[in-house]
Chain A
Amino acid sequence: MDLATASQLVVSGLTIGCVYSLVGLGFALTLTATELVNFAQGEMVMLGAFIGLSLITMTGMPYVMAFLLATLATGLIGVALERGVLRPILDRRAPLLNLLIATLGLSIALQALAIIIWGREPIAYPQIFSTEPIILFGIRAQALNLWILGLGFAAMAALQYFFRFTLTGIAWRAASLDPATAALYGVSRRRNVALTFAISGALGGAAGVLMAPLFFASFGLGHTVIVKAFAAAALGGFGIVGTMLGGLALGVIETLAAGALPSEYKNIITFAILIAVLMFFFRPKQAAGRSITETAKVAIGDAAGFFASRTRRMAVIAALALVWLLLLAFADTYALRVLNMALISAIAVLGLQLVVGLTGQFHSDKRSFVKDRHRVPAGEQHERP
């Protein structure tokens, strides 16, 4: 590969890396502030793309204006989702797993909504920029690529400025590190969480408006970047600057890998590097507070206690046998097939539950599940922020 080609690939990699960084920042912010992986982050990307498309095609406004408005709109949508869906779950002191599932549900619902509004087919953005390449030192770049890089870096710079030099941003950082202490200084945790979802939604929307002119607006747009964006955040240690750099690095690495190696290795290389970084250089620390594995551990402990009794075991087996006979007698082929699939999924989830239960740890006093024979139930251990 010659220098010109490599340079070309680096520019392309930085372009897509910019998108990874923006989406990854959304993950990082949400995870840092709420210990929650927001599965709906990809849909913020999708909504940003479609809102930007609608603004441009319906009003003819300039691309930059559409970018700003779409970013604002998805930020507001993020707040609305937090207030309307996630806040009630949090207020009920539900386990973190419930929030995870809620974000998954939001992801599916938002996709369905997008299909209803904009349809299933991908839609191309109008020709906004000139297709004539800009050639600098032998490197061909489209005007669109330069705009994506410029706006993307501007968004990241604005974010960094916000968190370092504004009172609200500093308060956010404090509350994310230690909510209890920050609360003593008057920093509202609830406002912090709302701000987090606003910013992460806006970042996702910004990424959507940037990438859609390159890749078309479609209801599955977010899914194409969500995994790599999360990987970018993990690569950067879920910090703000780290995620920015991680996304750019990931974009460049995968583009260079695709250009230098057989294409089959593109994704392998990308995630092998991620795994290596996570294994040897970085261990993500969760903030003191709830562990995501608490519910799994409690559930397994309760199940073990329930089945300790022989009578209960026999009763459960008899009940299952009765259900099986009833199904044989009355269920048709299709119903049985659906039930089979559901049971297979349940077995898979049970396996995950077992693994999570055995490997998770309580965080409040750092006692491990194995060592602590007199564990205190999770609900009594941690204070709800």
Chain B
Amino acid sequence: MNSLVNTLRMVGSLEHALDGHLMDKPAIFSALSAVYWPTRSTFPPLVSLGCFSCPDNGDTNSMIDGATAWAISWDKPLNRHRYWVAEQATNYSFQGWAMTDHAWADRLVSEDDASNCDQSVNATVKLITKDNVVAILGAMNSPCALAMVPLTKRYRTPQFTAGVGTSITQQGSEYVFRIAVGATGQTKELATVAVEKLGHYKISVLYSDDEYGASMANGFKNAMAARGLQLASFESFPRADQDFTGQLAKVKASGATALYSVGAYTASALIAKQAKQLGMNLQLLGDTGNASPKYIELGGDAVEGAVLVEPFTPADPDPRLQAFSKRYRDQYGRDPDGWVAELYDTVEIIHQAVAKSGKIDRQSVRDFAASMKTPGMFKGILGDWSFDASGEAFFPLYKVQIKNGQKTILTR
């Protein structure tokens, strides 16, 4: 048993030592290759505690003048809307670039993980090792995005995710960039509008018990605590639950005047409907998770008056944004939402990375994104972008209210 443990430790140390250096094809691989396969020029994969390989890292400097490919992928989460949004956004951005003259071809590769994080991880490996992508967009939900982080770190592939879970950018990876305002930023803005603009001091939180829900709920709790305010109630629900009457009974008993529900927009719409059925007249609060038009469609009258924070809204009269929205609407038959704008801008960032560096490789894309430390280096649909050292994005958020089934801007 001791010898087995020692062997495992040795292999594990070897894995750790080589982690991140796979792209450089360390000498040890060449040496072992020479020993075991003298006629082979590349070391074959080693299967022990993990899978080693020396994949093509997508470094195609020599191909800049020819047709080459770089790929973007995303997960296809459980609800069709997010995937469709991501697909349309990226296609939309690709079309924009296709109209300009550049020396490379764009190839979009997509994988469906159905919001299953095991599949997210598998898809990540496939995209990096088989499809040789230079960047990954996804996952679109926090738990799966978190699961992908160790792999994108290992394979040194920039990962741009819309997941807002706090821990995503706290894994020590310099290859993860959050293209949405994280939980801390969103909840701080939401708390500000709820307290200062709407005048609510007794607020309840009802959140789904996953990474996203917990991050947002705790962020909001901290934001309220920073104002010296306590939450009226703080309840969670299993992610798959659909009946919230028990939790809502506690919210009602707490005397709260406002309710912040955190979860998939389906759950938030159900919470709104069931709260109304119970005769509760609460100010509803929401974050980018509820920014989808489906939230209004499913919630109907129950979500009237809800206040949300979101990165983008087609209600902004800015001519540039109106033109963007119109182009999108003409092409896809619906208004763009925050995810569309985030992904659109992200694709633009990647294109700029390629154009300015003159190289199509993962490290160049990563370095460009990491260099966007000051606002103004990149201006997109969402305004001036910047990333901090941990990969957190910063751009202004809209505070919108649902009136007569439409969103109107309260402030930005």
Q: Which residues of A contact B (CB under 8 A)?
A: 1, 5, 8-9, 12-13, 16, 119-122, 124, 127, 131, 133, 140, 142, 214-216, 218, 220, 223-224, 254-260, 262-264, 266-267, 324, 327-334, 336-338, 340-341
Q: With A121-B80, A328-B45, A331-B45 given, is the CB distance from A337 to B122 under 8 Å?
A: yes
12 intermolecular pairs with C-beta atoms under 8 Å apart:
A12-B245, A120-B81, A122-B294, A131-B301, A224-B242, A258-B244, A258-B246, A264-B236, A324-B47, A329-B44, A334-B122, A334-B125
Q: Tell whether, in the assembled complex, residue B44 and residue A216 are in contact, meaning their CB atoms are under 8 Å apart.
A: no
**How far apart are the CA atoms of A254 and B118 in the complex, in Å?**
30
Interface residue tally for chain B (C-beta within 8 Å): 49
With contacts A9-B246, A133-B279 taken as known, whether A333 is within 8 angstroms of B45 at the C-beta atoms is: yes
Task: Tally the A-B contacts, defined by beta carbons under 8 Å.
Answer: 129
4 smallest CB-CB distances across A and B, nearest first, come from A258-B246, A120-B80, A259-B246, A12-B245
Please determine whether B246 and A257 come into contact, CB atoms closer than 8 angstroms. Answer: yes
A214 to B245, CA, bound (A): 12
Tell me the smallest distance from the CB of A372 to a CB of chain B, in Å: 36
Tell me, yes or no, whether B381 is within 8 Å of chain A by CB.
no
Cβ contact within 8 Å between A259 and B245: yes
B321 within 8 A of A: no
- Chain B residues contacting A337 (CB-CB under 8 Å) are 51, 122, 125
Least Cβ–Cβ distance between B61 and chain A, in angstroms: 23
* Residue in contact with B246 in the complex, picked from A133, A263, A340, CB distance below 8 Å: A263
Interface residue B243 (Cβ < 8 Å from any Cβ of A): yes
User: By DSSP majority rule, is chain A's interface helix, strand, loop, or mixed?
Assistant: helix
Q: Report chain A residues within 8 Å CB of B297.
A: 124
Q: How far is the CB of A271 from chain B (nearest CB, A)?
A: 12
Contact (Cβ within 8 A) B246 A334:
no
A61 to B130, CA, bound (A): 52
> Contacts A127-B300, A333-B51 given; 11 further ones with Cβ under 8 A?
A1-B253, A8-B249, A8-B278, A12-B245, A140-B277, A142-B277, A220-B78, A223-B240, A255-B243, A266-B246, A328-B46
- Cβ of B15 under 8 Å from chain A: no
Question: Is there contact, CB below 8 Å, between A5 and B252?
Answer: yes
The minimal Cβ–Cβ distance linking A48 to chain B, given in whole angstroms, is 16
* Alpha-carbon distance A257/B305, docked complex (angstroms): 31
Closest residue on chain A to residue B266 by CB atoms: A122
Closest chain B residue, CB of each to CB of A336 = B51
| Contacting residues, chain A, for B21 (C-beta < 8 A) | none
Tell me which residues across on chain B come within 8 A of A1, comparing CB atoms: 249, 253
Q: Is B220 an interface residue (CB 8 A)?
A: no
Cβ contact within 8 Å between B122 and A12: no
Of all chain A residues, the one with the shortest Cβ separation from B51 is A336
On whether the beta carbons of B122 and A338 are closer than 8 Å, the reply is yes
* A13: chain B residues within 8 A (beta carbon): 245
Contact (Cβ within 8 A) A124 B298: yes
Question: B179 CB to closest chain A CB, in angstroms?
Answer: 23
A216/B266 contact (C-beta < 8 A), A124-B298, A333-B51 known:
yes
